[in-house]
């Protein structure tokens, strides 16, 4: 029995409020997602802002007072995030806490959490010069630089990022969500306050109220009726690769990495079809890449694929012995050719469908998954619910999957090779 209820309100020219009310949860989550075109000149500037504004507000001007308030709210949290969705940078501020019925003495947790969120959004702490405090800025800048170092050290992440840069060379989808390390190190604190005002006046707002709570649309209209700027969200445009780009890099790593990128000419209503193509190709333990490249041929430690809906791209990630890099790449391409030639068994197709549908059915088990799903659907001209996605996937034929696979074009093969003394 589905106890959840979904509602949508337009609370401003550029702001949409979506609620997902489900009493099965004992918690609630409020989030404000600000979507802006991803640009090289603003990626680092905008990327540092969410963590900076959630660090302290005029009402709670230091770490201790903000933490004390969160503790009083039964261990609530105020947090931020930055992600890339196709050619857009998504800045998120969120507050989580227990639902009203579990709070003592009639505390209105929804009012408290929305108040904290609005405080961070519209009244972040500034100094007498009207700038974000120097110490807060320096700490957040240092943490971002440490994150970039951690991403470099995690070679799976690093190889994927290099592949993505090559795949979207010259396009905004290839820009890092936080910008480059050099851009972060060169940030000017004097420009950040104005940059936050620009975000509030030019972003598209996707607001979510999730869990055991019911929002008041008027509360959000008061705050967001004049905020932001309307813009159309859509997946990154398809650009057919002229040829397969091959790049190699040598580092002192014990296990070499192979990251491959494919472009796909996908219509919005075909997103679930290409997720099924991905599941058959390399997205599940029963997939062609796992069964043949890893298990039968033993060419790699892991080999899996991921379809990025908002980028119209498919990625294959693999950990390989250096001497097997070329063989693994050849076999991955051969497995795609096998699919394109129509070699998909009924068992492979059914297994992929069931796995994919299980993942769709589990969306409602987590508030974060509900938010991610609905945010992703805003980039499609043909949005679907998880239940509708299940129905679509189960209805696809082998012929449709084969035809879709034929539209996958190899674009990038990035080799991160371990050096002999790695």
What single string gives the DSSP state of each residue in 217-254? Answer: HHHHHHHHTT-S------PPPP---SS-EEEEEEES-S
What three-state secondary structure class fits 71?
A: helix
Determine contact, residues 156/320, Cβ cutoff 8 Å. Answer: no
Q: What is the pLDDT of residues 362-397, one digit of tens each?
A: 999 999 999 999 999 998 888 899 999 999 999 999
Q: What share of the chain is helix, strand, coil (3-state, %, to 5)?
A: 45, 25, 30
What three-state secondary structure class fits 213?
A: coil
CATH superfamily of the domain spanning 5-224 = Metalloenzyme, LuxS/M16 peptidase-like (3.30.830.10)
Q: What is the pLDDT of residues 268-289, one digit of tens each?
A: 899 999 999 999 999 999 999 9
Fold adopted by 245-418: Cytochrome Bc1 Complex; Chain A, domain 1 (3.30.830)
At 422, the pLDDT band (50, 70, 90 cuts) reads: very low
pLDDT at 419: 78
Residue ranges per structural domain of the chain: 5-224, 245-418
With b meaning 16 or more CB within 10 Å and e meaning fewer, what string describes 351-372? bbbebbbebbeebbeebeebbe
Q: Nearest CA to 109 among 77, 79, 68, 73?
A: 73
Q: What is the pLDDT of residues 97-119, one digit of tens each?
A: 999 988 887 789 999 999 999 99
Which residues, 6+ apart, have CB-to-CB distance to 265 below 8 Å? 238, 240, 312, 407
Q: What is the pLDDT of residues 21-49, one digit of tens each?
A: 998 999 999 999 999 999 999 999 999 99
pLDDT (mean) for 238-245:
93
pLDDT at 187: 97
Output the pTM of the full model.
0.94
Q: Above pLDDT 90, what percent of the chain? A: 90
Q: What is the pLDDT of residues 145-179, one digit of tens each?
A: 999 999 999 999 999 999 999 999 999 999 999 99
Asked if the domains 5-224 and 245-418 are classified in one and the same CATH topology, the answer is: yes
């Amino acid at each position: 029995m589905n106890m959840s209820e979904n509602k949508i309100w337009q609370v401003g020219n550029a702001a949409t409020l979506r609620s997902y009310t489900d009493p099965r949860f004992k918690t609630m989550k409020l989030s404000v997602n600000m979507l802006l075109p991803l640009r090289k000149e603003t990626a680092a500037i905008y990327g540092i802002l969410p963590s900076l504004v959630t660090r302290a507000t005029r009402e709670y001007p230091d770490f201790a007072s903000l933490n004390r308030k969160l503790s009083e709210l039964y261990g609530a949290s105020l947090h931020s995030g930055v992600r890339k969705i196709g050619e857009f940078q998504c800045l998120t501020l969120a507050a989580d806490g227990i639902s009203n019925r579990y709070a003592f003495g009639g505390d209105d947790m929804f009012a408290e959490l929305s108040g904290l969120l609005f405080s961070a959004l519209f009244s972040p702490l500034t100094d007498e010069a009207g700038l974000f405090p120097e110490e807060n800025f320096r700490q957040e800048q240092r943490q971002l630089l440490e994150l970039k170092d951690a991403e470099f050290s995690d070679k799976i992440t690093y190889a994927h990022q290099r592949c993505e840069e090559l795949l979207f060379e010259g396009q905004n989808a290839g820009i890092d969500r936080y910008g480059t390390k050099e851009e972060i190190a060169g940030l000017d604190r004097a420009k950040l306050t104005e940059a936050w005002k620009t975000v509030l006046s030019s972003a598209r707002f996707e607001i979510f109220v999730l869990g055991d709570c019911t929002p008041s649309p008027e509360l959000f209209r008061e705050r967001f009726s004049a905020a932001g700027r309307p813009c159309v969200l859509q997946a990154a445009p398809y650009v057919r690769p002229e040829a397969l780009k091959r790049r190699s890099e040598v580092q002192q790593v014990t296990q070499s990495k192979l990251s491959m990128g494919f472009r796909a000419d996908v219509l919005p209503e075909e997103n679930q079809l290409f997720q099924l193509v991905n599941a058959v190709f390399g997205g599940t333990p029963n997939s062609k890449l796992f069964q043949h490249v890893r298990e039968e041929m033993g060419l790699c430690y892991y080999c899996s694929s991921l379809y990025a809906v908002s980028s119209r791209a498919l990625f294959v990630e693999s950990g390989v012995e250096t001497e097997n890099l070329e063989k693994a790449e050849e076999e991955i391409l051969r497995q795609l050719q096998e699919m394109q030639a129509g070699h998909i068994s009924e068992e492979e197709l059914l297994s992929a469908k069931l796995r994919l549908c299980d993942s769709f059915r589990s969306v409602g088990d987590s508030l974060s998954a509900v938010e991610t799903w609905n945010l992703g659907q805003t980039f499609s001209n043909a949005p679907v619910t998880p239940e509708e996605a299940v129905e679509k996937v189960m209805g696809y034929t082998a012929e449709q999957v084969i035809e879709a696979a034929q539209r996958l074009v190899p674009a990038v093969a990035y080799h991160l090779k371990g050096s002999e003394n790695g």
